[in-house]
Structure 1
């Protein structure tokens, strides 16, 4: 089964160790279910890092990236529940990416995912998509233990909509960051695929100047409708 839509919200977060119990309870008992039941949203999953940082990752699949900037959604961000406000006030790291999914080669739900993040030169995006679709992702998926892969591009207009609306959910995005999601049965498989196929030398032809950020995560909880 492919992703449930063409849009995805990707969130990285951390809290201090003393706040992790409440953070995890909030995610599992309120936040995931609340988001899944919003218009346009269909599935959400959360993970904890096996290798890399930030420590926690969450993904939310929706019909379109535009679902992440509707008046109703922005109103919710500006008027969070008391529990959400209390938990978010204790975040030590928070980063949100509003992804316009470019390639979806996923299959089912794996126990682990490796995230590769980088910023390419905008003028080379067509060549990048071609390489990802025809070379990098098919090679990754063929490896033992792999289940699927997807690629998304952060939509800056959508990402910065909460800033314009003065929501508490407002780190400003200034670069069109790309995210590769490599999904597999085990963390070792997804991590090995990422480090083999997404070296800095492989991405340099697409204007990627800095080494990609790679983090591997195991599944904690998910829900869908």
Structure 2
């Protein structure tokens, strides 16, 4: 899964069981087409947690970083549809990170994904980024794997709470994000337990408290999939 652009929005949240059916309908048939109609949005993907019955991960891949502050995007965020207004309060524990793509290796769209939210140790930013980039480059070509990426959260300085955020309540944010995708879930999990384990990441210069999630692909869309709306 090679990332399509130089920026991304990475999001984690939970949806309770009684809302999941409507959430899937809304997110697939209204929200994704809406987002993919915004200039600069290249691909969206939704992933269902394999370890948390309520968990989701969503990734939007953006052509350039300035898409995050574009009129097209902000207009959507500040004018949610009635259905979006109804669904936003059901995004529980939202973590939303606006990111620059620091490294991206691999190609295609896979079925399994691991996410790692981490932070560099004090004074370790440059060394950790270099070490992670080298490691991810090597991993992307391993059997069972298809992509390995590093995102660095960089919230736009002009960012202020949008209407959607105000409906949800205060969003959290990750710091650094590693994404590892593959067509073999066992291969992905093995790497997370070994080359990208908390101990291994600590040896590269990360703090020893990463947050790891495991997901399977639920839906993906690009602008080419969107009819006129």
Q: Which TM-score applies when normalising by structure 1? A: 0.88
Alignment match, 2:227: none
Alignment match, 1:154: 153
Alignment match, 2:50: 50
Aligned counterparts of 2:76 and 2:140: Cα–Cα separation in 1: 37
Aligned counterparts of 2:101 and 2:122: Cα–Cα separation in 1: 16
2:209 to 208, 211, 215: 211
1:66-108 deviation digits (Å, cap 9, x = unpaired): 2112233222211101111101122222121111000010211
Q: Could you say what secondary structure the match of 1:156 adopts?
A: coil
Moved more, 51-60 or 8-17: 51-60
Q: Could you say what secondary structure the match of 1:72 adopts?
A: helix
Contact 1:120 1:206 in 2 (8 A): no
Moved more, 64-73 or 81-90: 64-73
Q: 1:142: how far off?
A: 4.2
Contact 1:6 1:65 in 2 (8 A): yes
Aligned counterparts of 1:35 and 1:89: Cα–Cα separation in 2: 19
Q: 1:186: how far off?
A: 2.6
Aligned counterparts of 1:84 and 1:207: Cα–Cα separation in 2: 40
Moved more, 196-205 or 183-192: 196-205
1:181 to 159, 179, 182: 179
Alignment match, 2:40: 40
Contact 1:121 1:206 in 2 (8 A): no
Aligned counterparts of 1:74 and 1:203: Cα–Cα separation in 2: 36
Distance 1:141 1:53, change over 3 A: farther
Moved more, 16-25 or 46-55: 46-55
Contact 1:162 1:169 in 2 (8 A): no
Q: 1:54: how far off?
A: 6.5
Contact 2:6 2:63 in 1 (8 A): yes
Q: Could you say what secondary structure the match of 1:99 adopts?
A: strand
Q: Could you say what secondary structure the match of 1:25 adopts?
A: helix
Alignment match, 1:67: 67
Aligned counterparts of 2:38 and 2:123: Cα–Cα separation in 1: 35
- Does residue 20 in structure 1 map to residue 16 in structure 2? no
Contact 2:144 2:184 in 1 (8 A): yes
Q: Could you say what secondary structure the match of 1:23 adopts?
A: helix
Contact 2:5 2:62 in 1 (8 A): yes
Aligned residues: 220
